[in-house]
Amino acid sequence: MVKAKAIIFDLFDTLLKDIKFDFDSGLCYLHENILTKDTDKVEFLHYASTYWKELYDKRSEDNSELAFEDELLDFKNKYGFKVDYSLEEIVLNCALKMNIAELYEDTIFVLEQLKLLEIPVYLLSNSIFKKNVMRKIINQYDLEKYFVNVYFSADYNIRKPHKDLFKIVFDDIKEKNKSIETNDVYFIGDNFQADILGAKNFGFTPVFINRKKNTNINNDEFIEIKSLNELLEIIK
């Protein structure tokens, strides 16, 4: 097994437990608090669930990404806003309404141990929210300080398992360690298609964190762990 010279983590269901994602909660927040008073709720929700849903569904076909910020700008042009909040503030409030998550018990301990081992750690997550908003979300859990850098798909209009997204992170890693090879980088994630196969196809060493103990997924026998604590046993 190749020694880990750098580690990249996925976010949700890897470091943070994704309890619930409810897109409609964010839309209802917009209707009640942001859009002009004469906006018809039924028409607005229908527009969001047809036109924009089709665009979001297309992501699974070509691994493209849509930023929620773009959707919000469309809503602003179509319906108007009754407040003068910044786009970032509105997007953040929507994100907080949509996402309910909590920190896994082993997350901080493992990140602290990796820091002691002086292994550089990065974060790469698929997200419809850009880095400026996601940084505020992860810092609710005091996480960003553990990472050399953090990356979110909405900033690049592509999503895992697109190879170019992995390359963006690897190029950053290589700037700091010219001799590092792709297989020296461990990618830890829970989504088998996006994280494990995506990382493998790029050349990283994938580690499947199977917190939900799903069976008949890891048929190719990639490295598999049930908790982050097991990662420490592997890299040592």
pLDDT digits (tens, 9 = 90+) for 168-222: 999 999 999 999 999 999 999 999 999 999 999 999 999 999 998 888 889 878 9
Q: Same structural domain for residues 15 and 32?
A: no
C-alpha span between 8 and 186 (Å, rounded): 6
pLDDT at 189: 98
Say if residue 159's pLDDT is above 80.
Answer: yes
Residue 107 lies in a domain: yes
Could you say which of 53, 81, 99 is where a domain stops? 99
Residue 90 lies in a domain: yes
DSSP 37: T
> Cα–Cα distances in Å, from 189 out to 39, 54, 196?
41, 27, 7
Q: Same structural domain for residues 111 and 24?
A: no
Residue 144 lies in a domain: yes
Q: Same structural domain for residues 56 and 81?
A: yes
Q: Same structural domain for residues 39 and 141?
A: no
Q: Do 225 and 210 meet the contact criterion of CB atoms below 8 Å apart? A: yes
Average of per-residue pLDDT values in the chain: 96
pLDDT at 219: 81
Over pLDDT 70: what percentage of the chain? Answer: 100
pLDDT at 216: 85
Q: Same structural domain for residues 128 and 35?
A: no
C-alpha span between 150 and 122 (Å, rounded): 6
Residue 91 lies in a domain: yes
DSSP 63: -
C-alpha span between 54 and 211 (Å, rounded): 31
C-alpha span between 9 and 190 (Å, rounded): 10
- State how beta strands 149-152 and 185-189 pair: unpaired
* Tens-digit pLDDT profile for residues 108-148: 999 999 999 999 999 999 999 999 999 999 999 999 999 99
Rounded to an integer, the average pLDDT of 12-35 is 96
Q: Which band of pLDDT confidence, cut at 50, 70 and 90, is reported for residue 79? A: very high
pLDDT at 220: 76
Q: What domain count does the chain have?
A: 2
Residue 1 lies in a domain: no
Q: Same structural domain for residues 168 and 191?
A: yes
Could you say which of 68, 99, 130 is where a domain stops? 99
Q: What angle do CA 195, 24, 81 make, to 5 degrees?
A: 115
pLDDT at 236: 79
Residue 39 structure tokens: 């906006």
> Cα–Cα distances in Å, from 172 out to 60, 109, 121?
26, 25, 12
158: domain CATH number?
3.40.50.1000
Domain around 81: 20-99
Q: Same structural domain for residues 79 and 136?
A: no
C-alpha span between 195 and 207 (Å, rounded): 9
Residue 58 lies in a domain: yes
Q: Which band of pLDDT confidence, cut at 50, 70 and 90, is reported for residue 12? A: very high
Residue 26 lies in a domain: yes
Q: Same structural domain for residues 115 and 37?
A: no
Would the pTM count as exceeding 0.85? yes
Among the listed residues 28, 40, 33, 43, the one whose alpha carbon sits nearest the alpha carbon of residue 82: 33
pLDDT at 2: 81
Q: Same structural domain for residues 151 and 210?
A: yes
pLDDT at 221: 84
Q: Same structural domain for residues 155 and 230?
A: yes
What residues form DSSP beta bridges with 16? 12, 103
Residue 207 structure tokens: 């580690």
pLDDT at 43: 96
Could you say which of 45, 65, 99 is where a domain stops? 99
C-alpha span between 228 and 236 (Å, rounded): 13
Tell me phi and psi for residue 25, to 5 degrees: -65, -40
Tell me phi and psi for residue 119, to 5 degrees: -95, 120
Over pLDDT 90: what percentage of the chain? Answer: 92
Say if residue 1's pLDDT is above 80.
Answer: no
Q: Same structural domain for residues 11 and 73?
A: no
Q: Same structural domain for residues 115 and 94?
A: no
